[in-house]
């Protein structure tokens, strides 16, 4: 993907939105693979961030994730996203088993200032590589998911954001008895992401989600 960087390798708001959205695409794929939400044979290996990553080859999932990432990129460019959450639920009971929460801060002054920020693509990718490695490593300390699971993607946005028809507001999907694993963060200097892998978390707030993401019952 060609990112909008200056000659001095500075980062623009649009370039930052593309980098963060691309990270989420690979991060979500990694979570779905590592937690066994889809069969391992439906993933293929690709090279990114100096790592070998696994991405889905399932046509429906690919289409769904591509649509989500494209919309997310637009909202990141508008600095309207507060967090993205991957919710993993028991298909049979609907119980929420895990929440992977990515908190996002955006420097909204970048909307009015087109001056590229002084951070190289290599430095950003080095930070992202550390986050991806930690996501991959969670399989060693998170309990196995011993039931069939589905996932939802929830995105916290600014309240005044106009949501497309294919998206809908979603209430929080709770888990009690919080047990939290804090992972590394990365920053483009415009967007900053904190990643929290969670097994048990009490949640509250307002979220939106694609209609197609509703958990099966």
Architecture (CATH level 2) of domain 13-213: 2-Layer Sandwich (3.30)
Residue 62 clears pLDDT 90, i.e. is over it: yes
CA-CA distance, 105 to 115, in Å (whole number)?
Answer: 19
pLDDT digits (tens, 9 = 90+) for 152-199: 998 888 787 777 767 766 666 656 655 666 665 666 555 555 555 555
CA-CA distance, 202 to 198, in Å (whole number)?
Answer: 10
- Mean pLDDT value across the chain: 77
- Which residue, 181, 135, 154, 182, is CA-closest to 72? 154
pLDDT digits (tens, 9 = 90+) for 120-141: 778 888 888 888 888 888 777 7
CA-CA distance, 180 to 157, in Å (whole number)?
Answer: 23
The mean pLDDT value for 64-92 works out to: 90
More confident residue, 106 or 45: 45
Long-range contacts of 122-126 (CB under 8 A, 24+ apart): 122/9, 124/11, 124/19, 124/186, 124/187, 124/188, 125/49, 125/50
């Amino acid at each position: 993907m060609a990112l909008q960087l200056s000659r001095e390798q500075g980062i623009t708001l649009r370039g930052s939105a593309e980098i963060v959205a691309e990270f989420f695409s690979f991060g979500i794929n990694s979570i779905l693979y590592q937690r066994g939400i889809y069969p391992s044979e439906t993933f293929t290996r690709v090279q990114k961030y100096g790592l070998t990553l696994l991405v889905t080859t399932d046509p429906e999932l690919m289409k769904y994730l591509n649509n989500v990432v494209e919309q997310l990129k637009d909202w990141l460019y508008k600095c309207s996203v507060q967090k993205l959450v991957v919710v993993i639920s028991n298909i049979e009971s609907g119980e929420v088993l895990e929440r992977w929460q990515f908190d996002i801060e955006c420097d909204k002054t970048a909307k009015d200032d087109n001056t590229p920020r002084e951070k190289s693509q290599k430095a950003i990718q080095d930070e992202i590589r550390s986050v991806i490695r930690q996501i991959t490593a969670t399989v060693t300390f998170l309990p196995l998911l011993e039931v069939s699971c589905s996932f939802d993607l929830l995105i916290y946005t600014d309240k005044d954001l106009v949501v497309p028809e294919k998206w809908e507001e979603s209430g929080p999907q709770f888990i009690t008895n919080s047990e939290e694993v804090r992972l590394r963060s990365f920053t483009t200097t415009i967007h900053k992401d904190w990643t929290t892998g969670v097994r048990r978390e009490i949640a509250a707030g307002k979220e939106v989600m694609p209609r197609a993401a509703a958990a099966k019952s």
